[in-house]
Amino acid sequence: MGPSRITLAELTRIGCAVVALGVLAACAETGDFGRRRPSLFEGKQGLDASPDWFGSRATLTDTEVELRNRAIALSRNPEKPIYPTLDALEAVIGSNADLYYGRVAGHADLSVTARYKRVERDVDADLVLIPLFRSTACNVASADALRLSALSVADGVSWDQAELARIRVASNAAIGEMVERALPQRVDAYHITAERLFAASPDEAIKPVIAAIDLLRAEVLKGGDCGYGPARPNKRIVRKG
């Protein structure tokens, strides 16, 4: 029997992990932009090119760095893992509903209401973080518009330098679009977890959780004001009281 071949799905998973490693290595710590604490390797910067190269991390403006940090906070699972895990794996998993429920309900709490409070806390944090991310994205988009205008009249900028600047603009926009696509998944993760908590342990504590999720769904539906269309989370079935 010959050696097994790597399937296309396996190659895709490997590629996603590699990309996630690169993104994480290029970003600063996220503790000030979300509720999660940086882990052992999180925020550690890898090798970078000379600062005078247009593609260098050193050319990122403060607002572009903030955009990337806030994107990380909204793209990973809202609840930090109970056991140690790799940052790259966290980036690939994102707001997975099954994993989120396991992390919320996996603690040996003295009271089941603590689990409802955990979800409510995460939803309330997103209600603050999402407008801040969108404001930052708009600031970056405004600066990128000025950058592109300057390129059209900048005789001292080489073609290669101009192309790298345009790539940065496209990268900034892609970050905004990525987060907007991830937000409905977060809303679903919260709602699915609330459903499961209630099925396992019915409690009045679900009412403020569902009210907060409804507010978050409305916030997500607003979409970004910088060219990113409104994402539409699925409406689920929990309606209590």
Does residue 2 sit within a domain?
no
What pLDDT was estimated at residue 51?
Answer: 59
d(CA 101, CA 127): 20
Domain that holds residue 201: 8-221
Does residue 226 sit within a domain?
no
Which residues fall within 8 angstroms of residue 61, CB to CB, at 6 or more apart?
140, 143
What pLDDT was estimated at residue 190?
Answer: 98
Does residue 126 sit within a domain?
yes
Does residue 77 sit within a domain?
yes
What are the C-alpha distances in Å from 213 to residues 104, 125, 183?
16, 11, 12
What pLDDT was estimated at residue 63?
Answer: 95
94: left (phi over 0), alpha (psi -120 to 50) or beta: left
Q: How many domains is the chain built from?
A: 1
Does residue 107 sit within a domain?
yes
Residuewise pLDDT in 10s, the chain (241 residues): 444 454 554 444 445 444 443 444 444 444 555 554 444 444 445 565 555 556 667 779 999 999 999 999 998 899 888 777 777 777 778 889 999 999 999 988 889 999 999 999 999 999 999 999 999 999 999 999 999 999 988 889 889 889 989 999 999 999 999 999 999 999 999 999 999 999 999 999 999 999 999 999 999 999 887 755 444 445 454 444 4
d(CA 35, CA 80): 9
Does residue 235 sit within a domain?
no
What are the C-alpha distances in Å from 56 to residues 27, 68, 129, 134, 176?
12, 15, 28, 25, 20
Compute the C-alpha angle 143/146/147, nearest 5°. Answer: 85
Does residue 237 sit within a domain?
no
Does residue 230 sit within a domain?
no
Among residues 83, 75, 99, 93, which one has the least CA distance to residue 196?
Answer: 99
